[in-house]
Structures are given as C-alpha cells and as structure tokens.
C-alpha cells in the first residue's frame, strides 16, 4: 500500500511510495534518486552490486519527472532529506516523462513567469508553488468557515448577465443565443436583491470578470471575489466583519500551514491586529500630497503611486473611509449631513487595495437619482430597482479580492502567482 512520503520515518520498515523523479544522481557504485509526492521528498538509494536486474534496468531508463512506484526497506540516513532513505526491492516506471522537460521542477534553473504559466501543470509540482495554492485553499476554507459560523447564507449568483454592475465599462460581451449578454463584474446587484429577499446575511466566493486593459502586477481579467451583504448593518459594522475575517484567515493560515510558509520562506508572516486604522479619504489625500511625488487633489482617485505613499506611512492594513460621493458607485450611501461624501470604504494593505464596500442606498428614489447622476439609464437597471419598491431593508457589504489577499499575505510579486491559470490581456491558454 502506498504511503505519503512525509509519513515515512526511519522506523517505517518496509514502505511503498509513489511520486515523480525529482533528481537523479549516479555515483558509479551507487545511484541516488529523489522521489517527490505532494507531501515531501525521499531519497532512494540503489547499491548497484546488490540490486536486482529489474531495479537496475528501470533505474537506468527512468527520466526526471516520470511517475514511479517504488517499494523497499527504509533505513535511517542522517544526510538524506527527512533523515531516511529507501532501498528498493521493486522500481516500477508507471509513466515515463519525455525529455527535455519544458520546465525544471527542481528549481535549479530559474524560469520566467510566462514560461512557468505555459507549463503550469509542471510549475505547480514545485513545492514552493504548490505551497501558495495549499495556503490559498486554507484561506478560502477559513473564509467559508467564518461565514458559516456567523450565520451567512452562501449564495451563487449568475455570471452571465444582461447589464453592467458598476456602470457600463469594463465588460466582456458574450454571445447568448440572440441576445446581448456579458460576463458579470461583481455579484453586487444580486446580493443586494437578496437583502430584499430576506436572506439578511449572504456571502459568495466566486469569479468576477473585468475587461480592463491593464497590464499590471495586480490586475487580472478573471478574479475571485469574496463578497458579503448584510441587512440592517451600516458601513461601520461591515468594516468590523471585514477586519475580523482578515485576522481569522491569517490566524488559520498561520496555524495550519507552517510547512508551506516555511517552504515559501515567509519569515515575516505576521497576523495583522484589529481594529485597523480608519483613515478618512481627506486625510489620505493630505498624506499623499505630502509624501508622493505625483500631484494629487481632493476628488481624484487614489493612484498606484499615491497608494504606495500612503501605505508606507500607514505600515499595516487600514481603511480609507468617507469618500467623495462623486467618485464612488451610485449604490454607495451619501452621508445625510453632507451628501458630498459617502459611507464607502476601501480596505488597504500597504501595497494595494484589497476590498471595496459601503453602506448602500436602500431608498428607491435616491437610488434612481444617483443612477441618473452617474449618467446611467435607470431603465437598464429595472430588474435591480424593482426590489427597492417592495420593502428593501437598509444594508451594507463589501467585495474582497481573493488573489490580492493571497498575494499580499505571502509577499508575492505578481498577482498571477496566486492564480492557477491566470487570465490577462495576453493569456487565454492554458
């Protein structure tokens, strides 16, 4: 019976392992193989004089990254990985890999991100790369768990839609029988409609599609959004949920992924402390004016350069609150005493924005007015506006980018590193 390589100890006795041939070394009288599965690496040592003909023949023929099944005796061996080695009785080549390999899995030869993404199936065999996705899986598990514990209803909203969410731009059109349709940019309108449906607390972790022609290290054309919407909550309450979730995700990763963090050499992994600073937009602009080389004014969007300058000053996660109503979407609730600013916020990591959210407009007339003010046509939002006429509770919510969360958590230099098969302007395959 096959056992995971990590579980093989010097006391194991006889063991059978399956995996890929990670490295091959021939020292004349001795042949060494490193065999890797997703749990670890074991050294297989073949003393040529003592080994059977069949073992020797397979060992001679096998190429790197072939799949093998090897059974034999486990011996303590201080210098080998994990302090043990396997001396085989049988050595089966389950599937021979072609040579040369498109990518060096042992990481002795570095590769450009593009080459790695082209051969992603091999790239993710690299323990450091696999670690990113094991951590991402743990982080998503922590999020699901958190929402479940807090009584959220997990929903799935359509990704094929008839109208824009955030206002007409950045949409991928698709052929949908004889109709015009698009890939959805955000579950925004649907999660709000479900507040009218009485679900009170909804969450969704799903894909969002943005036809942005950005070629940066933090933009994807298909991303994963962690979304919530909560009835009777204001912006303060959903900011508290967001910072609590971030802390819980970091804590869970810290607890359950120590091997993966070590693999990634994430030595500065620290769980952020809540509450995060609430920095009003006006003060954020003042910091940027003082510290950023690019000019910026009240009312401008916060550029990447300004984001960095403010992030350097803040040093850890923080919220930018109280944004000018003019530069936020129509669904953000203006303050009653000063409608020029609204109850919208962004959650920031010092490197970039992670999440946007707001208390929403729940009054039909105000919402129609705000849609018109943005130069949009309320008629194309009829399906969304209708629920606001039949008892819509006040509500608030946010969307958090899963890839940016993982990227900033692990100090990855490119958001594509946090996606198995990234979609960007130049990449549609694999």
**Among 126, 219, 349, 416, interactor with ligand AMO by CB under 6 A:** 219
Grouping H, G, I as helix, E, B as strand and the rest as coil, residue 175 is strand
Binding mask 358-377 for ligand AMO (x = CB under 6 A): x-------------------
Nearest to 36 by CA among 267, 263, 255: 263
Number of residues assigned to the chain: 430
Where do the H-state alpha helices sit in 20-83? 53-61
By the rule CB under 6 A, 80 interacts with ligand AMO: no
Closest separation in Å from C-beta 347 to ligand AMO: 7
Alpha carbons 6 and 183: distance in angstroms, whole number = 43
Quick one: 227 or 322, whose CB is closer to ligand AMO? 227
How far is it, in rounded angstroms, from Cα 398 to Cα 82? 45
Closest CB 226 distance from ligand AMO, rounded Å: 9
User: With CB under 6 A as the contact rule, which of the stretches 97-105, 109-117, 133-141, 221-229 interacts with ligand AMO?
Assistant: 221-229
What separation, in Å, do the N-terminal and C-terminal C-alpha atoms of the chain show?
34
Q: Given candidates 202, 223, 296, 410, which one binds ligand AMO under the rule CB under 6 A?
A: 223
Record the tokens describing residue 239, joined without a space. Answer: 């900011």
- How many residues bind ligand AMO (CB under 6 A)? The answer is 22
Binding residue (CB under 6 A) for ligand AMO from 260, 321, 355, 370: 355
Question: Which phi and psi (to 5°) does residue 330 adopt?
Answer: -60, -25
Return the number of the residue (51 or 405) whose C-beta is nearest ligand AMO: 405
For residue 144, what are the CA distances in angstroms to 78, 150, 206, 214, 353? 42, 10, 12, 30, 22
Binder of ligand AMO out of 16, 212, 286, 300 (CB under 6 A): 212
Question: Are the beta carbons of 184 and 173 closer than 8 angstroms?
Answer: no
Q: Is the peptide bond before 97 cis (omega within 30 degrees of 0)?
A: no
342 contributes a contact to ligand AMO by CB under 6 A = no
Q: Is 188 in the site for ligand AMO (CB under 6 A)?
A: yes
When binding is defined by CB under 6 A, the residue of 357, 407, 419, 424 that contacts ligand AMO is: 357
Q: How far lies 147's CA from each of 101, 141, 241, 332, 341, in Å?
A: 43, 10, 10, 23, 30
If the CB atoms of residues 85 and 424 are measured against ligand AMO, the closer one turns out to be 424
Q: Which is nearer to ligand AMO, 127 or 401 (CB)?
A: 401
Asked if 404 interacts with ligand AMO (CB under 6 A), we say: yes
Which of 116, 125, 210, 349 contacts ligand AMO by CB under 6 A? Answer: 210
Q: With respect to ligand AMO, which residue has the nearer C-beta, 91 or 384?
A: 384
């Amino acid at each position: 019976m096959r056992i995971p390589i990590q579980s093989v100890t010097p006391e194991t006795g006889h063991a059978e392992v399956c995996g890929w041939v990670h490295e091959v070394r021939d020292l004349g009288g001795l042949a060494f193989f490193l065999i890797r599965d997703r749990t670890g690496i074991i050294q297989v040592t073949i003393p040529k004089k003592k080994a059977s003909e069949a073992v020797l023949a397979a060992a001679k023929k096998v190429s790197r990254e072939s799949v093998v099944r090897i059974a034999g005796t486990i011996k303590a061996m201080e210098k080998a990985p994990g302090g043990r080695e396997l001396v085989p009785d049988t050595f089966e080549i389950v599937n021979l890999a072609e040579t040369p390999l498109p990518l060096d899995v042992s990481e002795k030869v570095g590769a450009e991100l593009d080459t790695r993404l082209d051969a992603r199936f091999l790239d993710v065999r690299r323990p450091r790369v696999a670690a990113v996705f094991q951590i991402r899986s743990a982080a998503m598990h922590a999020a699901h768990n958190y929402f479940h514990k807090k009584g959220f209803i997990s929903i799935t909203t359509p990704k094929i839609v008839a109208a824009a969410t955030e206002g007409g731009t950045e949409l991928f059109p698709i052929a949908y029988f004889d109709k015009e349709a698009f890939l959805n940019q955000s579950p925004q309108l649907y999660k709000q409609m479900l507040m009218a449906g009485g679900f009170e607390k909804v969450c969704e972790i799903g894909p969002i599609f943005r036809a942005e022609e950005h070629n940066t290290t933090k933009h994807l054309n298909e991303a994963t959004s962690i979304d919530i919407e909560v009835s009777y909550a204001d912006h303060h309450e959903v900011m508290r949920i967001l910072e609590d979730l971030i802390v819980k995700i970091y804590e869970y990763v810290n607890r359950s992924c120590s091997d993966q963090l070590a693999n990634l050499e994430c030595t500065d992994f620290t769980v952020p402390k809540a509450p995060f600073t609430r920095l009003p937009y006006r003060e954020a602009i003042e910091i940027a004016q003082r510290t950023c080389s690019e000019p910026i004014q009240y009312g401008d969007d916060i550029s990447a350069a300004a984001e960095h300058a403010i992030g350097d000053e803040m040093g850890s996660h923080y919220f930018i609150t109280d944004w000018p109503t003019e530069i936020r979407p129509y669904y953000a609730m203006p303050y009653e005493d000063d409608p020029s600013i609204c109850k919208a916020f962004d959650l920031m990591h010092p490197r970039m924005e992670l999440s946007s959210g707001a208390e929403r407009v729940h009054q039909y007339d105000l919402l129609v007015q705000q849609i018109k003010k943005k130069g949009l046509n309320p008629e194309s939002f009829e399906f969304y506006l209708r629920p606001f006429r039949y008892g819509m509770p006040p509500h608030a919510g946010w969307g958090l980018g899963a890839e940016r969360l993982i990227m900033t958590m692990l100090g990855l230099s490119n958001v594509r590193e946090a996606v198995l098969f990234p979609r960007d302007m130049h990449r549609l395959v694999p």
